Structure 1
Amino acid sequence: MTTSELLASRSVQVGTLKAAIFDVDGVLLASPHERAWREALRGFGDPERFTTAMYQADVAGKPRLSGARAALDALGVPDAAGRAAAYAVRKQKRLEELIAEGAVKAFPDALRFVQAVADLGWPMAVASSSKNANGMMRSIRIDSGQSLLDIFSANVCGRDLPRGKPDPAIFLLAASELHVDPSHCFVAEDAPAGIEAACAGHMAGLGVARKDDAAGLRTAGAKVVVTSLDDIALDELAEGRLCRRPA
């Protein structure tokens, strides 16, 4: 999808909301993806130059190989295309080590918000390009005794799709598996590429700015941007509208 097509898609009006789609890393979970990308960079580039801003702008939300290539390109690493696969393998190894060390935590506001949406009776999906997302969510227990993954009615994490975000394919697949028209879904995302994908799929983008990146999420087309999911007005959401709580 071209930049002009993405920009045009942002003007599309969504309908009354009645379903939710959640990205995982940075929205539901504080996972060690960014740390793994940075620490795996040794030998390819300077880890100190792998900033949070760069991660959010160039890597977050993308499939592993695409993220590796994007990071090396952003850092100006010679032969980025030829070296991306090795970098991606090293990042995955480091990520698995960090997960085994217990470096995955759920955001408390995310758990509260997911439960609130479930209490509305809405169908919910998780949609992440990461093949590690399912294992990480299974490790998180919620009050009912279920794992976090169990609360969702559809799961399209780690699917092999021809294109990653900002293409809307993963979110369109999630809406299809929820049996809800995309225009009636909102997507909670922390990365500009994910918000662009939501907009391209004619869905309302809920930007979660946990890393001082609200401006980038707004530029990408988010309908609402919050730093905590506690800031969403649940009474408005029950009526199908995505709004911030009054200050």
Structure 2
Amino acid sequence: MTVRDSPAPQSAPVGALQAAIFDVDGVLLASPHERAWREALAGFADPALFTTALYQRVVAGKPRMSGARAALEALGVKDVEHQVVRYADRKQKRLEALIEEGSVAAFPDAVRFVQALAGLGWPMAVASSSKNANGMMRLIHLGSGQSLLDVFSANVCGRDLPRGKPDPAIFLMAAAELHIDPFHCFVIEDAPAGVQAARAGNMMALGVARNSDVASLRTAGAELVVTSLDDVAVEALVDGRLCGRAV
């Protein structure tokens, strides 16, 4: 078990938290987004250069066009403005094929965490820039005819917004649809851009380091970083506090 805390939280005092907002890809689901981005690169750049570290640093959490542009620029592709639409479209087609093939799975620790918060009666929202997020969550069955998507009382996935993460718009929209002040929400994210968006929206951020990226999530501003959501102290959330389980 590994739990690392950042310095004392600045967004909300003890007892202030009342609701949770979840990112999807990398937090709830092991989805094929990264694979689709990588495989779609053939003809633009060497796919082997599209590493997990690069994906997390410049693409994860961003809308499709922003992610495509960021990836091509990071890889030094020439004439990005003329290539970006074609790359984004190719990535989307590859992603849809991978989803159809069944290349989507839920992280067991995430399902346990969601169910624990549901047991507390907490309002929960799901917020992803991906327009495929809802379809992927419907594929995850929790029993009693319920899918993972059904657990959330607010869903702002795939909304068209003027700016993507690290802009806080998507998380502020989620808080509004939960009818909870952002000050009383915390966001669960696996990407630095998502953590930055949460903090920009005056929300606490819980970073999930599934790719050995504890340092980058802490640098982005996460108050708590864990390698598994099983390491979050659910009993502390009863009192509105975000902290790790005692080791």
Paired with 1:140 and 1:200, the residues of 2 have a C-alpha distance of 31
Contact 1:126–1:152 (8 Å) recurs in 2: yes
Q: Which moved more, 1:110-119 or 1:139-148?
A: 139-148
| Shift, 1:14, TM fit | 1.7
| Shift, 1:11, TM fit | 7.8
Contact 2:110–2:229 (8 Å) recurs in 1: yes
Which amino acid in structure 2 is aligned with residue 117 of structure 1? L
Paired with 2:24 and 2:144, the residues of 1 have a C-alpha distance of 20
Contact 2:9–2:204 (8 Å) recurs in 1: no
| Shift, 1:35, TM fit | 0.2
Residue in 1 that maps onto 2:193: 193
Paired with 2:165 and 2:135, the residues of 1 have a C-alpha distance of 21
Q: Secondary structure at the match of 2:202?
A: coil
Residue in 2 that maps onto 1:116: 116
Structure 1 position 230 matched with structure 2 position 211: no
Q: Secondary structure at the match of 2:143?
A: coil
Which amino acid in structure 2 is aligned with residue 14 of structure 1? A
Structure 1 position 215 matched with structure 2 position 196: no
Q: Which TM-score applies when normalising by structure 2?
A: 0.95
Contact 2:9–2:223 (8 Å) recurs in 1: no
| Shift, 1:13, TM fit | 2.6
Paired with 1:11 and 1:243, the residues of 2 have a C-alpha distance of 10
- Report the aligned-residue RMSD: 1.1
Paired with 2:170 and 2:59, the residues of 1 have a C-alpha distance of 17
Residue in 2 that maps onto 1:139: 139
Contact 1:125–1:152 (8 Å) recurs in 2: yes
| Shift, 1:199, TM fit | 0.2
Q: Secondary structure at the match of 1:187?
A: strand
Structure 1 position 85 matched with structure 2 position 85: yes
Which amino acid in structure 1 is aligned with residue 11 of structure 2? Q
Q: Secondary structure at the match of 2:20?
A: strand
Cα deviation, 1:42-81, whole Å, max 9, x if unaligned, reads 0011101000000000000000000000000000000112
Contact 2:11–2:199 (8 Å) recurs in 1: no
Which amino acid in structure 1 is aligned with residue 184 of structure 2? H
Paired with 2:12 and 2:65, the residues of 1 have a C-alpha distance of 32
Which amino acid in structure 2 is aligned with residue 174 of structure 1? A
Structure 1 position 21 matched with structure 2 position 21: yes
Residue in 2 that maps onto 1:5: none
Structure 1 position 49 matched with structure 2 position 49: yes
Contact 1:206–1:225 (8 Å) recurs in 2: yes
Which amino acid in structure 2 is aligned with residue 34 of structure 1? E
Paired with 2:39 and 2:11, the residues of 1 have a C-alpha distance of 42
Alignment of 1:94-113 (within 5 A): 94-113=94-113
User: How many residue pairs align between the two structures?
Assistant: 238
Residue in 2 that maps onto 1:32: 32
| Shift, 1:144, TM fit | 3.4
Alignment of 1:110-189 (within 5 A): 110-189=110-189
Q: Secondary structure at the match of 2:161?
A: coil
Contact 1:106–1:140 (8 Å) recurs in 2: yes
| Shift, 1:12, TM fit | 4.5
Q: Secondary structure at the match of 1:88?
A: helix
Paired with 1:197 and 1:144, the residues of 2 have a C-alpha distance of 35
Residue in 2 that maps onto 1:64: 64
| Shift, 1:34, TM fit | 0.2
